Amino acid sequence: MKSYVPDRPTADCRALIEAVETRARTAEKEARALPRTARQAYIYDHTFTNEIEAVAYHLATAINRVPDFRDPFLYAEKLRSLYLTHPNPLMSLVADKVFLPRYCAHFDTPIRPPKIHAVHDDPADLDLSSLPQTAMLKISDGCKMNLLHGPGMPVTRFAYRRFLRQFWHIDHWRRHAELHYRDIPRRLMVEEALLPIERLSETGVFCAFGRPYMAITKSGYAADRFYGAVDGILALEDSLKPLERYEDMRPPPFETAFPDPFRDAMLETTRRLAAPLPHCRVDFMLSEGRCFLGEITISPVALRDFFHEPEQQKMDSDLFDLSKLPDCLAQGRAIAAKLGWPTETSFGHVSPDDPRLATGGHEERHAT
């Protein structure tokens, strides 16, 4: 069985990567003359010739070949193709940290996100003296753009200015061409902080067209990232094997991933939220006898880090029957309209028949 992941980059893959990285080096030099807040956009816009190339490049560096988004085979290849050919507004809606509670209310889920204390379009409007005793400051269209406020670690004016200087101007979607983030309005939200943070654990449940098929557990959460080894990965269906990314990783017990008394509520919340989506990971946070919905992740690890044996790649890929996408799109647009979210997207409008989908965005494949 072919894995379609060569041991070393193919000639056309090397040509694609070298062309992109040459343009990136030139753009980085030119961007030094620009204001700091304009550099990221300039570099991205002068690195990639089109969106297909941007989406393809970030996967090509991982799979050693030019992705074929016209006839995708790999798990990540199928899912990354959605940025180009599947204009589903739910992909942005559920990734918006501010809008997520409304999505949960629509499905009346047993488990909800932490309380949102305030939302600001302009971060200058936040009065630090008005912050509750504990809070997590988050940028709504970002990832890991968080600032913790709590006992012994209050957010000072200096720390807040540094946080905004570091993150407010960053377009997260440009980091790895995760195009669905582009349609999320940028806002600053003040959310309930779950403390003590060192005791926080997480269960993430992967779903394909609403069907849970895998879970991961993580522990040792600190500030804005996870420390320590991932506990393991678990298959939720008897017909599916555990999807193990590392040789020494073992699936956690079911009771670890879905502890009492939250097990039924976690699975029911997962099924309701994932039902209209082609793919997502539903993340739960557990701390001090409480369970909250953390987020819905459309593109775990930016859909660039899935390395399995050929048999495993085939199983991963077979979960995604792309013939279901038209129904998924219609359902997504209907839900978005009902919730007051725009039904049109800035992504996903490349024709599935466009030959450039198979060649990294170019009219002809690079010579091999």
Residues 95-114 pLDDT 10s: 999 999 999 999 999 999 99
Lowest-confidence range among 16-25, 241-250, 270-279?
Answer: 241-250
Q: What is the pLDDT of residue 183?
A: 98
The verdict on residue 320 lying in a domain is no
Contacts of 218 (CB under 8 A, 6+ apart): 201, 202, 203, 204, 226, 230, 231
Q: Is residue 337 domain-resident?
A: no
Extended strands (E) in the chain: 116-120, 135-139, 146-149, 188-191, 201-208, 211-219, 221-222, 225-226, 232-235, 279-287, 290-297
Domain end point (choices 167, 191, 215): 191
- Is 57 within the bounds of a domain? no
226 inside domain = yes
Given 130, 162, 191, the domain boundary residue is 191
Tell me if 63 is assigned to some domain: no
Q: Of the given ranges (164-168, 203-207, 267-271), which has the lowest mean pLDDT?
A: 203-207
5 CB contacts (<8 Å, ≥6 apart)?
63, 64, 65, 74, 307, 313
Domain that holds residue 284: 198-297
Q: How far apart are CA 246 and CA 148, in angstroms?
A: 32
24-53 core/surface letters (b: 16 or more CB in 10 A; e: else): beebeeebeeeeeeebbebbbeebbeebbb
Q: Which residues contact 37 (CB under 8 A, 6 or more apart)?
A: 169
**Among residues 278, 297, 316, which one ends one of the domains?**
297
Rounded to two decimals, the pTM is 0.90
Share of the chain above pLDDT 90, in %: 69
**Residues 301-340: tens digit of each pLDDT:** 888 765 455 566 667 788 888 999 999 999 999 999 999 9
- My answer on whether 136 and 153 are in the same domain is yes
pLDDT greater at residue 273 or residue 200: 273
Structural domain total, the chain = 2
Q: What value does the mean pLDDT of the chain take?
A: 88
